[in-house]
Amino acid sequence: MSELSREVLKYFESQGYDINEIAAEIDNLKVEVIRDFLKKSDDDKIYVIKRSGNLEEYIPEKIARSIKNAADRNDKQLNSSDVKILIKDVEKSMKEMNRKVFRTDEIKEYVKNALVSEGYSQIYDSYVSYVQAQN
């Protein structure tokens, strides 16, 4: 165990945290530390913390592919302009947060919100199933 890990554990124990609270705080801590580090950066890139914990640059095409896959599973077709509108809605939600780093689950929520707000309820249902199958 590193010195930092020992100090963090000591802090959580002194605060009476249980294991679930510790896990949640550590997840939040990762986002906060990366966010604060990126605030110092001059680039305008957006990053995603994947379920694995890896940090990747945000790639809108990945969102587009997941939306298209969900539509295909429901035998619905989306043209590229529909997908672009949905991506813009997702990116608007991200921009409103004024951050450079997001967890994958946050982006999935933005996608679901965009599908609902743009009237794609059948694709929303497929997207929820698609996301659950990915987990």
pLDDT 10s digits, 67-121: 999 899 888 888 999 999 999 999 999 999 988 999 999 999 999 999 999 999 8
For residue 47, which phi and psi values (nearest 5 degrees)? Answer: -125, 155
Whether 51 shows a pLDDT value over 80: the answer reads yes
Residue-level pLDDT at 17:
95
Residue-level pLDDT at 133:
81
Cβ atoms 118, 89 nearer than 8 A? yes
Q: Determine the Cα–Cα distance for residues 87 and 66; give it in Å rounded to an integer.
A: 11
Burial of 111 per CB tally in 10 Å (0-12, 13-18, 19+): buried
Domain borders along the chain are 1-40, 43-133
Residue-level pLDDT at 56:
94
Residue-level pLDDT at 52:
85
Residue-level pLDDT at 13:
94
What lies within 8 Å, CB to CB, of 38 at 6+ separation is 47, 100, 101
Whether 135 shows a pLDDT value over 90: the answer reads no
DSSP class of 53: S
Both tokens assigned to 86:
């949905």
Quote the pTM value. Answer: 0.79
Tens digits of residue pLDDT in 8-49? 999 999 999 999 999 999 888 888 888 888 888 777 889 999
Residue-level pLDDT at 111:
97
Residue-level pLDDT at 38:
81
